[in-house]
Amino acid sequence: MPKPEIIGSVRSTYTRVVCMVCEEKAIQYVLTEKPLRAPEILAIHPFGKMPVLRHGDVELFESKAIATYLDRSFAGPHVFPSDPHMCRSGSRSGGRQHPRSACPNAGNSCNRSIAVQISANARRAAPGLV
C-alpha cells in the first residue's frame, strides 16, 4: 500500500489537523503542496477545498473524515476515543474539552513536539512558504 498523500497546504489549518493525526500515529505520509482549487484538489473535493486525501484507491475530502479514516486504518494511539460519549464531549460544538486523562491524544491543543515536527516537515515540503 502506498503512503497516504495529503494534498493541501501547510498554510491551511485543516491540512495541518490531518498532518497532526499522521504525526501522532507515526504514519509515513506525503504532503503535496497545492493552491486552493488546484485541479488535483478539485478532482476529489467538489468545491476545491483542502485538504484531500489519496491512499491507494481511497479518495477522501473533509478533514474530519480524513482524520477518522487515518485513525481507523493505521496502528498507533487512537486520536478519537471509541466511546461515542467521549467523542461528543471532545467535539468543538459539543462544549467541554476532552479530559486528557481519558483520551490523552485527543485534545484541542497540539502537542508541542508534534507541532515542531509538522513545521519541520512543512519546511521540507514547501521551502520558502513556512
Which residue among 50, 53, 60, 122 contacts ligand GSH (CB under 6 A)? Answer: 50
Nearest approach, Cβ of 66 to ligand GSH (angstroms)? 7
Beta-strand relationship, 30-33 and 52-55: unpaired
Binding mask 30-49 for ligand GSH (x = CB under 6 A): ------x------------x
9 CB-contact burial (10 Å; exposed 0-12 / middle 13-18 / buried 19+): buried
| Phi/psi at 75 (5° precision) | -70, 175
54: contact with ligand GSH by CB under 6 A: no
| CA dihedral for 73, 78, 81, 82, sign (positive or negative) | positive
91: contact with ligand GSH by CB under 6 A: no
Closer Cβ to ligand GSH, 62 or 86, answer by number: 62
